[in-house]
Amino acid sequence: MNDDLDFDETAYLTNNQDVRLAVQRGIFASGREHYVRYGRAEGRKGRPLVARAPLDAEAFDEGTYLWLHPDVRAAVAAGQWASGWEHYQKAGWESGMRIAGLQQATSHALRDYTKLVRDLIEQYPHDYPLAMARAVGSLSLAGYHEAGDHQIAVLKLAGLQNGQAVYDLACGSGRTAAALQRHGWTGNYRGADLVKELVDYARVQCPTFDFFVHRDYSLRAPDASLDMVYAWSLFTHLQLEEIYLYAQDAHRVLKPGGIFAFSVLTLDAAAHRDLLITRANAFKSGAPMPHLDFFVSRSMIEILMTDMLGFTLQDWIDADDPRATGSVGFGQAVAIYRK
């Protein structure tokens, strides 16, 4: 056979599933044989159609793609592909492989948070730390540190100890991680977020912790491997089905007895009712707020977490209950569940 042939076996089989079947059945020795005998004359392409950009380049993340497709991860490790990105462009896209649970252009969280973070970076060109603090809802650096300290107080209440393996779901710019570091906590930390700029900044703040972009409704950790998963101000911005998917996967990655702690907005709190009214007015005036806020009730969370997912309630702290931090309310209700 002509070795100068402009031909790529993998791309050809990916793009021509009928040929892949025929090769599997032994009708042809290879895609190449089919191409030479029939495919070329039929006008089939022997190369990847083009190394095109995926439909949603913003959503592609190498680590998430490799996590979702262990076979591609193995092929990259074996040198068959230079990267997951190369695989996706040349074969994965054509065969409809998922790049993330959040890949749809309509994914509100990725779209809204990416815009919010970039707008803030532009707004504060000489104060990157302030932009990073504002991106996660703190108005000042002092507020950023104080909120971090409060988060640590709640984590300790939930049972945080040195030496544990913890997962910071939606780690943002590293507000909690930096506070863990300030408080001298030691253990195995992993933090994941959608937005690369935030993850990069968290990494700068806490160089010994493990941060990564992850854009799937899953936790990048093996089964039953973690002592604690926490998610501060994440479920406050997601729809119920998204909360369900994350909570379900948190259950998978926790060790038996492991803790899942998270915060929510509930209409039990006067401040949250006010927020709902502010949002409603903004919505009506045609200038909606930059991202989704989602409101739940304690009973709703209880059904989801216990009846549907098999967690056990360990503690529930209302938004204004000073028990959360030892001095003032946490500002959001805190749910603490045990696997």
Ligand X SMILES: C[S@@+](CC[C@H](N)C(=O)[O-])C[C@H]1O[C@@H](n2cnc3c(N)ncnc32)[C@H](O)[C@@H]1O
Position 191 contacts ligand X (CB under 6 A): no
Position 235 contacts ligand X (CB under 6 A): no
Which parts of 247-306 interact with ligand X (CB under 6 A)? none
Distance CA 339, CA 171 (A): 22
Which residue in the set 72, 158, 166, 195 belongs to the binding site for ligand X (CB under 6 A)?
195
CA nearest neighbour of 52 among 85, 86, 94, 89: 89
Q: Judged by CB under 6 A, which stretch of 59-67, 120-128, 190-198, 275-283 contacts ligand X?
A: 190-198
Task: Write down the least CB distance from residue 164 to ligand X, Å.
Answer: 18
Q: Return the residue nearest ligand X (CB atom).
A: 172
Which residue in the set 7, 67, 232, 337 belongs to the binding site for ligand X (CB under 6 A)?
232
Position 175 contacts ligand X (CB under 6 A): yes
Position 189 contacts ligand X (CB under 6 A): no
Distance CA 177, CA 168 (A): 8
Which parts of 133-152 interact with ligand X (CB under 6 A)? 136-137
Task: Write down the least CB distance from residue 33 to ligand X, Å.
Answer: 46
> Which two structure tokens, joined as six digits, stand for 140?
């000042």
Which residue in the set 87, 90, 150, 237 belongs to the binding site for ligand X (CB under 6 A)?
237
For residues 99 and 59, the answer to whether their CB atoms sit within 8 Å is: yes
> Which two structure tokens, joined as six digits, stand for 2?
């002509």
- Coil, helix or strand for 316? strand
Residue linked to tokens 């998204």: 242
Which residues lie below 8 Å from residue 203, measured CB to CB, with a gap of 6+? 174, 209, 211
Distance CA 103, CA 269 (A): 34
Task: Write down the least CB distance from residue 215 to ligand X, Å.
Answer: 7
Distance CA 29, CA 35 (A): 11
Distance CA 334, CA 328 (A): 13
| 17-56 footprint of ligand X as x/- string (CB under 6 A) | ----------------------------------------
Distance CA 194, CA 192 (A): 7
The DSSP result for 210-271, as a single string, is: EEEE--SSS-SS-TT-EEEEEETTSGGGS-HHHHHHHHHHHHHHEEEEEEEEEEEEETTSHH
- In the complex with ligand X, the residue whose CB is nearer, 234 or 317, is 234
DSSP code of 35? Answer: I
Distance CA 185, CA 179 (A): 9
Q: Judged by CB under 6 A, which stretch of 70-78, 90-98, 228-236, 249-257 contacts ligand X?
A: 228-236
- Binders of ligand X: how many residues, by CB under 6 A? 19
- In the complex with ligand X, the residue whose CB is nearer, 11 or 132, is 132
- In the complex with ligand X, the residue whose CB is nearer, 198 or 221, is 198
Which residue in the set 11, 68, 221, 234 belongs to the binding site for ligand X (CB under 6 A)?
234
Task: Write down the least CB distance from residue 177 to ligand X, Å.
Answer: 9
- In the complex with ligand X, the residue whose CB is nearer, 195 or 226, is 195
Position 176 contacts ligand X (CB under 6 A): yes
> Which two structure tokens, joined as six digits, stand for 279?
């949002």
- In sign, the C-alpha dihedral spanning 99, 101, 104, 107 is negative
Which residue in the set 132, 158, 165, 170 belongs to the binding site for ligand X (CB under 6 A)?
170
Q: Judged by CB under 6 A, which stretch of 38-46, 192-200, 275-283, 300-308 contacts ligand X?
A: 192-200
- In the complex with ligand X, the residue whose CB is nearer, 72 or 194, is 194
Interface residues toward ligand X, by CB under 6 A: 109, 113, 136-137, 170-172, 175-176, 193-195, 198, 232-234, 237-238, 242
